[in-house]
């Protein structure tokens, strides 16, 4: 049994490396040490990834963030050395002619393999998640008007006060999952108002809705408060569950990239 399991891991590793070798690649990429994490840097837009015409720009991302973007998983779905989340990097990469944004994850995988010597295999693991459900008779969201052409999404009015238009439950769970990714990237205690795991939709609601949603640091007078309380005020509920999901298991990863 142990031998069969070992062979399975080796086979998965070999397939993974073959896929990386055949994937589209950046024409050239510059990798430099990034600024350390701070809330000021996050608020100013100094942390994250942007895909611009012909190039990808990454600011102050840890290897866990890059691996997460490369494999389209949350950082808690990555099993590897603790130091992956500490050192941060800035990346400027040129995309080949005709490349699209949908190919960026595959190109990031290639970059990690060539510059950080990434080797990995895939597995399955049970992860805690939040299931978003609707409480009967308690919904405090207004169905969006049929002719409303407002761009879907939430806009910050001031502090933590937000107005959300034409939000489906899929869009809301995506927002909540994005907040969980921010929570995972924060130092301990850095986002105590946040939400720590991903969210899936079990509301059964199929329409789009308008509502106010306040959350963030600070007090109620500035729109602060926990995300869970904000969801509760909408007549919705977040219930902790477990779900089997893909896990990226790191077999090899270098702390320092090869030279530019």
Q: So what's the pLDDT on residue 8?
A: 47
Instruction: Place 9 in a pLDDT band, splitting at 50, 70 and 90.
Output: very low
Report the pLDDT value the prediction gives residue 44, as an integer from 0 to 100: 80
| Per-residue pLDDT tens over the stretch 202-250 | 999 999 999 999 999 888 888 899 999 999 999 999 999 999 989 999 9
What's the pLDDT at 101? 92
Task: Output the pLDDT for position 149.
Answer: 85
Q: Which of 49, 88, 47 is nearest to 72 (CA)?
A: 49
Pairing of strands 161-167, 88-94: unpaired
Query: pLDDT tens, 183-198?
Result: 877 777 778 899 999 8
Q: Is the pLDDT of residue 41 over 90?
A: no
pLDDT in the model for residue 37: 82
């Amino acid at each position: 049994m142990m031998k069969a399991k070992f062979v399975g891991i080796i086979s998965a590793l070999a397939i993974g490396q073959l896929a990386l070798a055949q994937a589209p690649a950046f024409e050239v990429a510059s990798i430099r040490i990034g600024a350390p994490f701070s809330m000021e840097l996050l608020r100013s837009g100094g942390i994250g990834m942007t895909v611009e015409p012909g190039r990808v720009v990454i600011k102050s991302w840890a290897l866990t963030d890059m691996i997460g973007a490369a494999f389209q998983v949350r950082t808690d779905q990555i099993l590897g050395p603790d130091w992956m989340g500490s050192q941060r990097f800035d990346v400027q990469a040129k995309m080949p002619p005709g490349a699209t944004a949908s190919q960026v994850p595959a190109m990031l995988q290639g970059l990690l393999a060539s510059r950080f010597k990434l080797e990995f295999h895939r597995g399955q693991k049970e992860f805690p998640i939040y299931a978003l459900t609707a409480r009967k008779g308690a919904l405090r969201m207004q169905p969006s008007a049929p002719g409303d052409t407002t761009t879907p999404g939430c806009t910050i009015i001031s502090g933590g006060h937000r107005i959300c238009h034409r939000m489906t439950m899929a869009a809301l769970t995506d927002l909540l999952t994005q907040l969980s990714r921010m929570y995972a990237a924060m130092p301990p205690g850095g986002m105590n108002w946040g939400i720590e795991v991903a969210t899936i939709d079990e509301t059964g609601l199929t329409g789009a809705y308008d509502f106010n949603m306040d959350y963030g640091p600070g007090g109620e007078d500035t729109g602060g408060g926990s995300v869970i309380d904000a969801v509760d005020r909408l007549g919705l509920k977040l219930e902790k569950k477990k779900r089997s999901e893909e896990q990226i298991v790191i077999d090899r990863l270098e702390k320092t990239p090869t030279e530019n």
